[in-house]
Amino acid sequence: MKLQRYITLLILFAVISIQAQHNVTINSVLDTEKNTLNITQKIQFKNTSSVSLNEIYLNDWANSFSSKTTPLGKRFSENYSSSFHFEKDEDRGKTTILNISNNDQSNLSWNHGDAVDIIIVTLNQPLLPNETFDINLMYTVQLPNDKFTRYGVTENKDYKLNYWFITPAVFDGEWHAFSNKNTEDLYLSPSSFNISITTPKKYFVISDFDIVSETISEENKETILEGDQRMFTKIHLIQRNDFETIKTDKFDVITNLKGKKVTPTISALSIDRIVHFLDEKLGAYPFEKILITKTAYKKNPVYGLNQLPNFISPFPDGFEYNMEQLKTISRAYI
């Protein structure tokens, strides 16, 4: 699956001028007392295949946390991660679907596929090739504790969002809908996104999408984000902004991954070298910004470096930082 994902992304870089297959509009409201996102969403699904479709598959990876017996729960057991199994239900995370309908507000029949993180929507009539169909969804996502996958709710009530909304699965003659097993290999087609996130106004919204507007009221803030030809939508909602933007002549790097004994100047030079190296070896990155986080690095660290005690430093100043940024940027790049 990882190889399949990489090939798909490389193809995307080569054909970036082609219009996105699907349009996704999301209105979400963060409830910090319940640690939930209340979401209304429209998926405009385009049938790019040569056959008619009687059903549409959706990925609901937020629901993969809902029990100990999901594929994700079983993966945690295989990895001897006991915290998930002894956690309170409200801290595991889940999706509660309130309604799925078409544009006429007629309810659509749906059921879970092979697992609880796959949804199959039955259409009232076949969707012909090159035609589109709108699916309207209302649901609530209970965000999981971040100790399971490093994404979710932190103990300080910050929110690191990953796989937090329902997405259309890929159909190329057959459906490609796979369960979440904590390998970050969700297979998606490029889509156009318009996302509204309403939070308490003290929260910063960190993303590599374009910020269209921010509207602040007495208590809340609504942030509108847009992205075209996108597949992944990691967003951080944080109360203290520890991110910085490092500008290169290729694209901006938004990061909170810091280096020990590394000055801001050295940090910027290091990132600039990495960006130019990847541009030369892999081709131009298709977006204006890239999000590089401590969370992403800690989830996939440079093995060996992460096992050294803090008081041992056998490498020159800046070496570890270079390696950390290189791995994390490379992974986000492809």
Q: Are 156 and 106 in contact (CB under 8 A)?
A: no
Write the pLDDT tens digit of every residue in 42-53: 999 999 999 999
List, in order of start, the domains of the chain with CATH numbers.
2-235 (2.60.40.1730), 244-333 (no CATH)
- Residue-level pLDDT at 5: 47
Per-residue confidence (pLDDT) for residue 69, from 0 to 100: 93
6 pLDDT more than 90: no
- Tell me what the mean pLDDT of segment 225-249 comes to: 96
* Strand pairing class (170-171; 110-112): unpaired
Beta-strand pair 252-255/289-292: parallel
Other C-beta atoms closer than 10 Å to the C-beta of 300 total: 13
| Residue 18: band (very low, low, confident or very high) from pLDDT cuts 50, 70, 90 | very low
* Residue-level length of the chain: 334
Tell me the whole-structure pTM to 2 decimals. Answer: 0.90
The b-or-e profile of 207-241 (16+ CB within 10 A means b, else e) is bbbeeeeeeeeeeebbbbbebbbbbbbbbbbbeee
Query: Measured between alpha carbons, how far is 271 from 268 in angstroms, rounded to an integer?
Result: 5
Q: Which of 29-43, 69-83, 181-195, 248-262 has the lowest mean pLDDT?
A: 69-83
